[in-house]
Amino acid sequence: MLSRLPPELVLLTLSFLDLSRFKTLSLVCKSWKDFIDENESSIYHSLAVYRGYIPSVTLDLTQLSLLYSPKFLHAVTSWKSFCQTHVHVDRAWAGKASSRYISYSSSGFAVHRHKVDEKAGIIITSFRHGGLVVTDLLENEILWSLPDNYVKRYAHLEYGEGYLIFDRIGGKKEVWRLASQFSSETSAPEATPDQIAASQKASEEYSSTYPKGHFKPWAVLKMPRSTRAFRFVYPTLLVGSWDHAFLWDIPSCKLIQTITPIQQPEDPISALAVVLANSTFDAPPPRLSALDELNYVELDSRHVFICGSNALRVFSRESGRCILDIPSTRREFGSRKFSVLYESDKTQGAALVNQHTDLQTHSLRSSAGDARIIDEFVAVHVSSCGRHFVAMLRGSRVVIVRNFEDSPSTLYDRMTLLQLGTSRSRSKYLAIHNDHVAVATNNGLFTFLLSDVLSAKLDPHTGNSDLLISRAPAFGYRVYMSNCSCLQLSDTGLYINWDPAYLEYHQENEEEQTRLDALFHSAVNDRTLRYFRMPTGDSVCHN
C-alpha cells in the first residue's frame, strides 16, 4: 500500500496519529517500520505542526528556543524527542504523569508578587515588607536585588520581553530592562537620577553574577491621574484609573491611547443585560450601571478588559467603545455549569489528582425579579488566540466566554461557568499560559485546559461530564492558602508563593491528609455552605 501512495500523503496521514501508534505500526508491519525509520524527522516535524506545538513546518529545530524555555528543551535533540517531551509535559499537567514540588528558598519569605522568565532562567520577586529580588531559576541563588527602602511595600510586578515594571508610592510606574538587552547604542529614554544611583549600587553588590538577572533603569512614568490596577503585555502597559484606561508603549515610554469613560460608557455595542432585553424579551435596553472600584485589568493587541465591582467590560482598542458588559450579580453565567465533584482519579507519582465534574444546562431567560448573587469579577485573562477569555469571580467561580466577539444574540450559549467548591471560599488568583489555566482559591489549587472546557460534554456511560479538572491536594486548606497572593504559569511549571513547611507537614502526616480530604469533600458537597442569604432574598458570597 505504501508504494501506491505519494509520500506526502503518507506523512500527512501519520501526523494525525498519537505517538504510541507509531510503535504499534512498527511492530505489526515491517514496511511501516522501514518507512517510519527512514522518515522519522519529517513525520515528527509534521506531527508538531498538526498538534500546534509549532506554528509552521518552516520552523527549524534550532529555532525552538524562540518559543520554548531551556528548561523545556533540555532533553530535546530531535523532532521525535521534542514531541515526546511535549506529550509528557501535557500528561503531567493533566495529572496523568509524574510531577513534583520544588521550593525556591532564596526568594525569601513574605513574598507578594513574582514573575518567572524560564527563557532567561530567573524569578523576580517583590515582598510585603518592600524590596525586590531576582533569583536564579536553576541554582536557587540570588542574582540581583533592590533594597526595601527603594521598592515600596506590596509592590505589584509586571514583566515581559525583558521589561520589568513596578509601582512607586504616589502612583508612578517604574520601568527597568534586562541588562543583557542593552548594547553600546542602547539608551534609557526616561531614566531618573535615583534609578541610576540604585542601579549602580546593585551592580557593584552583585558584580559576580553580571549580566544574568541584572536590570538597568529604563524610565519612571508619571500617570495623568490616580491609578488602581495595571497590566503589561509587551509592548503595551495598560493602567486603569477610576474612569480612564491609559495605554503606554513601554519601549518608547509614550502614552499612546486613553479610553474614557469606562464607568458608564456611552452607546455600548453589547451588554449581557442588553442581550437579554433586546434579543429575547423585546424590552428597551437598560443603561449600564457604574463599574465601581477596579479590581483587575487585562489587554491584548485589540482589546482592553476591565474587572470592576459590578461588572466585567471589554473595550475595543480601535474604537474605544465598550463591546461587552457582563454584570457580576447573575446566578448563572451561560448555558453550561460544571461543578467540581469529590470523586477523583490519581496517577502514581503525580502531584495532581483529576477531579470529576457534574454538568448542568440552563436556558436563556430574564433575570428581572430574580434574587441576585452579590459577587464581583476579580481577574480576567484573554486566550493566546485572542478569541476567548477566562474571568474569575470572588466566590470560587470561573466564567469562560468562547468567541466573545461573535453575535451578541448567542452570547449566553457561548458562556460556561465552573464552580470550584463552595462560594463562601475566596478566590485568590487566576493565571493562563497558552491553553493552560490555573486558579487558586481557599478551596484549593486547580488547573485545566481551556480547550477541554470548550469541548466538554456529558459522558453517556456515567451521566457526568467528561471534563476533568486537576487539583493539587496539598493546597486545600484556607489557612495554608491565606498568604497566597500570586500565581504564574510557564511551559513546564506552576509557580505560587506559599510556605513550604505546610507542604512538608501534609506529606509526612497521614492524619493531615485525611483532614484536608474531608475539608474538600465538605466544600464540594455541602450546598448549605455556598451562600449567605440576605433578607432581600439576594445571596452573598462569604469571603
In this prediction, residues 26-51 reach a mean pLDDT of 84
Q: How confident is the model at residue 176 (pLDDT cuts 50, 70, 90)?
A: very high
Q: Do 89 and 158 fall within a single domain?
A: no
- At 336, which helix (H) or strand (E)? strand 336-346
Mean pLDDT of the chain: 86
Q: Do 357 and 502 fall within a single domain?
A: yes
Report the range out of 70-84, 151-165, 514-528 with the highest average pLDDT.
151-165
In this prediction, residues 505-532 reach a mean pLDDT of 73
Q: What pLDDT is stored for residue 387 in this prediction?
A: 96
Q: How confident is the model at residue 195 (pLDDT cuts 50, 70, 90)?
A: very high
Q: What pLDDT is stored for residue 274 in this prediction?
A: 47
303: phi then psi, degrees, rounded to nearest 5: -140, 160
User: pLDDT of 465-508, one tens digit each?
Assistant: 889 999 988 887 777 787 889 999 998 899 999 877 777 766 77
Structural domain that includes position 67 = 2-93
Q: What pLDDT is stored for residue 271 in this prediction?
A: 56
Q: Do 123 and 88 fall within a single domain?
A: no
Q: What pLDDT is stored for residue 273 in this prediction?
A: 47
* The pLDDT of residue 73 is above 50: yes
Cell of 270: 453589547
In this prediction, residues 217-223 reach a mean pLDDT of 97
Q: What percent of the chain clears pLDDT 70, i.e. is strictly above it?
A: 89
Q: What pLDDT is stored for residue 366 in this prediction?
A: 52
d(CA 290, CA 461): 47
In this prediction, residues 275-292 reach a mean pLDDT of 58
In this prediction, residues 398-424 reach a mean pLDDT of 90
Question: Looking at the whole model, is its pTM more than 0.85?
Answer: yes
Q: Do 114 and 75 fall within a single domain?
A: no
The reply to whether 311 falls in a domain is no
Q: Do 116 and 82 fall within a single domain?
A: no
Instruction: Please report, to the nearest 10 degrees, the dihedral formed by the alpha carbons of residues 482, 483, 489, 492 taken in order.
Output: -100
Q: What pLDDT is stored for residue 114 in this prediction?
A: 97
Q: What pLDDT is stored for residue 279 in this prediction?
A: 43
Q: What percent of the chain clears pLDDT 90, i.e. is strictly above it?
A: 53
- Whether the bond between 284 and the residue before it is cis, its omega within 30 degrees of 0, is no
User: pLDDT of 323-341, one tens digit each?
Assistant: 998 988 887 888 999 999 9
Q: Do 13 and 112 fall within a single domain?
A: no
Q: Show which of 29, 61, 93 is a domain's final residue.
A: 93
Write the CB contacts of 65 (distance below 8 Å, at least 6 apart in sequence).
73, 119
In this prediction, residues 183-188 reach a mean pLDDT of 80
Q: Show which of 222, 237, 272 is a domain's final residue.
A: 222
The gap from C-alpha 283 to its chain's centroid, in whole angstroms, comes to 37
Q: Between the CA of residue 35 and those of 1, 10, 28, 308, 485, what are the distances in Å?
A: 12, 9, 13, 58, 53
d(CA 385, CA 407): 18
User: pLDDT of 428-467, one tens digit each?
Assistant: 999 999 889 999 998 889 999 999 999 998 777 766 788 9
Burial status of residue 82 (CB atoms within 10 A of its CB: 0-12, 13-18, 19 or more): buried
In this prediction, residues 147-176 reach a mean pLDDT of 97
- At 196, which helix (H) or strand (E)? helix 193-205
Pairwise pLDDT comparison (331 vs 156), residue with the higher score: 156
* The pLDDT of residue 272 is above 70: no
Q: What pLDDT is stored for residue 280 in this prediction?
A: 44
Residue pair 236/299 in contact by the 8 Å Cβ criterion: yes
Q: Do 340 and 363 fall within a single domain?
A: yes
The enclosing domain of 147 has a CATH number of 2.40.10.480
Give the orientation angle of helix 79-93 with respect to helix 19-28, to 10 degrees: 130
Q: What pLDDT is stored for residue 115 in this prediction?
A: 97
Fill in the amino acid letter for 162.
G
Q: Do 211 and 354 fall within a single domain?
A: no
Q: Do 131 and 85 fall within a single domain?
A: no
The reply to whether 393 falls in a domain is yes
User: pLDDT of 2-37, one tens digit each?
Assistant: 556 676 777 777 777 777 777 777 777 887 788 788
The reply to whether 280 falls in a domain is no
Residue pair 112/126 in contact by the 8 Å Cβ criterion: yes
Number of domains in the chain: 3
The reply to whether 255 falls in a domain is no
The enclosing domain of 70 has a CATH number of 1.20.1280
Q: Show which of 93, 117, 143 is a domain's final residue.
A: 93
